[in-house]
Structure 1
Amino acid sequence: MKIAIFDVSHWHFPLYLSALQDPGIEVIGISDSASFAGQKFADQLNTKLFASNEDLLKENFDFALVFSRHSDMAELAERLITRGIPFLIEKPCGLNLQEVSRIRHLSEERGVYVSVPFILRVSDLASRLSVSEGFAPDGYQHLAFRFIVGPVARYERGGCSWMLDKQYAGGGSTLNVGVHFIDLISSLTDSPITQVSAQMQTYRPDVTVEEQAAFTCRTAAGQIGVIETGYLYPSTADDQRDFAFSISHSNSYVRGFSDQFYRKSRDQQQGRSVTVEYNTDAYYSTFLRQSWADLRAGRKPLAGLREAEHAFAVVEAGYRSAANGGVPEQVQGTLE
């Protein structure tokens, strides 16, 4: 399979390198609009660094990976869809809900495969919370997640300063991190989020996206979820984030922190704790391989533009709520 990769200076791109070196995978070229890490990755993958996305688009390839600035994503996605080329695109897939809705409609009209790496779907956590483990979707009562990643300066160090500017990023920790838990809540409960109340905060005066956010959500089935995100953790290479959760289900109560998954069944006096891999970096190559397998088998993506569209609709409802002092907002639209 011949692969083209657009804008490799994205901080997630190195997490895909393992899959990109699989047998049968040929990276025919990469681009780097940020002019930051392109040559390093071209050397590592033994491939050509193209001068621009436009030049790379002229090549022949079977599958693409899109890591562009959020403000550039939808246009590039539209061009790939028009050519009929399947691809993986990093969330949020566009600058706003309107852009994501447009490319979702176009991809469905043209029958083009597009996957979006909501990597928690292939995580140990999702496996532990699956139906096969006794967690029926309608049994969830309350789900709370806290995911606080490193400070905004890490984007500057990584050549992605655009992430701090709303005109290029579209949003901050909610749009970058929170969408994973919006999607997880929706997928675990098998019910879309329909209402949001939110509060947000920005600390650096030169940053125009939120550095902290707290969302309280309600699903169509009535379950309540809480999602806290932020760019506040003093991260280091061996200690990157603060992640914790608690979940109430009719079957069990679950808590998680560090590398522990603690489950206490409703009919047991004593809970049990097991070790689980919560480092989400481990799942990007897994998701890419799953995307290739689904494409070859003619299956729909595990997560795609429909899921991205719903996540963005929830985010935008949260932004409206925060702007109005936390007043609950309805999530826009229902996918047909």
Structure 2
Amino acid sequence: MAAPTWIDGPDDRIAVEPLMRIAVFDVSHWHFPLYLPALRDSGVQVVGISDTASFAGSTVADQLKCKLYGSNEDLLNEDFDFALVLSRHSEMAELAERLITRGIPFLIEKPCGLNLQEVRQLRQLSEKHSVYVSVPFIMRVSDLATRLSAGNGFTPEGFQHLAFRFIVGPVARYERGGCSWMLDKRHAGGGSTLNVGVHFIDLISSLTNSPITQVSAQMQTYRPDVTVEEQAVFTCRNAAGQIGVVETGYLYPSTAEDQRDFAFSISHTASYARGYADQLYIKARNQQPGGATTVEYNTDAFYSVFLRRSWADLATGCLPVAGLREAEHAIAVVEAGYRSAANGGAPEPVDNVFAPV
């Protein structure tokens, strides 16, 4: 970022904080609108956007009063301090590599690449060049993660079983949103597991503070022209022996006011927790009645929270709350699940796992 500008005040010189200049690559991504609140913060200036899908670019440029560049290559030539990479999964790794070699920090949407090899190479390159890269595993900054934290009695070693169901809208929503490539494995890499399941794979690892080491999975695709999974169930075991289940799908008849089916149940040595709609019910092991509280489960609410956290961590020299190391672990788990599903659900080891930061 640029150095502060000094101006003459009534009594002394005053430092005026510089603008953070932001470039956004591929704004037709369905998550882009969720970052708008942060991108409109004071001290933030979007200097340029790109839209290789040619879907939402003109509208976004008008909204943000910024320049729409004709290609990602043109936008790369702009002068900026931080980037958002929201590109097709098949194009993410190359773009991210170029940002890293230029030393530019950025946020990149999961899965960060088409496969584990691409993500691993990005992680290694970012560590070599000491470039800040955050990956929005937004469950880490959610109300649910706070409620299930050690500070609230959910110690990592006490988890016995964690089960999450997250069913989002049908594949047609990607077609309506200008992201038909999400239905093609050549460009997306995978379906509901790679798109939404990684959030809960990462959440299980972070809550238990233990990497997932083994996966058994079953998957299903319903539309004959879709080459990614529309439904998946993962049963995972971590290095501590704890078991987690992640069920995802593109099956919910979503509407603007009711977008997904999200539910969970968690067994812990201290208590049992379950959630649905906007309720979190916790019942302790001491035979006393349980109690319910209202919790924000709308994950859309946390993307701008995560982006602001990324900027704060970058400014203070902290590691990202989630980055390429966490993404590499999540994608390794996903690929083990794909191997398992192709092998009739037989358990598969996770490739070269390590504990996420």
Match of 1:290 in 2: 309
Q: Which residue is 2:108 aligned to?
A: 89
Q: How do 1:187-206 and structure 2 match up within 5 A?
A: 187-206=206-225
2:3 counterpart residue number: none
Aligned length: 336
The alignment status of 1:19 with 2:38, answered yes or no, reads yes
Code of the residue aligned with 1:200 in structure 2: it is M
Corresponding position of 2:196: 177
Which residue is equivalent to 2:205?
186
- State the alpha-carbon separation in 2 of the partners of residues 39 and 151 from structure 1: 26
Tell me, yes or no, if structure 1 residue 247 matches structure 2 residue 266: yes
Q: CA deviation at 1:32?
A: 0.1
Q: Counterpart of 1:75 in structure 2: which amino acid?
A: E
Report the Cα distance in structure 1 between the residues aligned to 2:260 and 2:39, rounded to whole angstroms. Answer: 26
Determine helix, strand or coil for the equivalent of 2:92.
helix
Q: Following the alignment from structure 2 to structure 1, what is the Cα–Cα distance between the partners of residues 249 and 122? A: 28
Cα separation, 1, equivalents of 2:353 and 2:134: 20
Match of residue 158 from structure 1: 177
Task: Give the equivalent residue in structure 1 for 2:127.
Answer: 108
The 3-state SS of whatever aligns with 1:226 is: strand
Alignment of 1:270-281 (within 5 A): 270-281=289-300
| Residue 335 (structure 1) shift | 3.8
Q: Distance in 2 between matches of 1:76 and 1:187?
A: 28
Give secondary structure in 1 for the equivalent of 2:154. Answer: coil
Q: Superposition pairs for residues 1-336 of structure 1, below 5 Å?
A: 1-335=20-354
| Letter aligned with residue 331 of structure 1 | V
State the alpha-carbon separation in 2 of the partners of residues 163 and 97 from structure 1. Answer: 18
How far apart are the structure 1 equivalents of 2:274 and 2:134? 30
* TM-score where L is the length of structure 1: 0.99
Q: Show structure 1 runs of 5+ residues with no match.
A: none
Q: CA offset at residue 267 of structure 1?
A: 1.0
Cα offset, 1:268, TM superposition = 3.5
Shift of residue 190, structure 1, vs aligned partner: 0.1
Deviations 1:203-229 (A, max 9, x none): 000000000000000000000000000
- Quick one: which amino acid aligns to residue 150 of structure 2? V
Q: C-alpha distance in 2, partners of 1:59/1:5? A: 11
**Residue 334 of structure 1, CA deviation:** 2.8
Structure 1: distance between partners of 2:188 and 2:354: 24
**Separation in structure 1 between the aligned mates of residue 58 and residue 210 of structure 2, nearest angstrom:** 44
Shift of 1:327: 0.1
- Listed one character per residue, the Cα deviations across residues 5-61 of structure 1 (whole Å, up to 9, x for unaligned) are 000000000000000000000100000000000010000001000000000000110
CA–CA separation in structure 2 for the residues paired with 1:279 and 1:318: 26
Q: Deviations over 1:102-121 (max 9, x none)?
A: 00000000000000000000
Contact 2:107–2:133 (CA under 8 A) maintained in structure 1: yes
Q: Partners of 1:275 and 1:27 in 2: how far apart? A: 35
Q: Which amino acid aligns with 1:120?
A: M
Partners of 2:351 and 2:122 lie apart in 1 by: 17
One-letter identity of the residue aligned with 1:116: V
Shift in Å at residue 132 of structure 1? 0.7
State the 4+ residue runs in structure 1 displaced beyond 6 angstroms: none
Residues 122-168 of structure 1: CA distance to partner in whole angstroms, max 9, x if unpaired? 10100100111001000000000000000000000000000000000
Measured against aligned partners, the alpha-carbon deviations of 1:170-216 in whole angstroms (never above 9, x if no partner) come to 00000000000000000000000000000000000000000000000
Q: Which amino acid aligns with 2:206?
A: S
| Pair member with larger Rg | 2
Distance in 2, Cα, partners of 1:298 & 1:218: 34
Partner SS, residue 107 of structure 1: helix
Q: Distance in 2 between matches of 1:199 and 1:164?
A: 19
Q: Distance in 2 between matches of 1:212 and 1:50?
A: 37
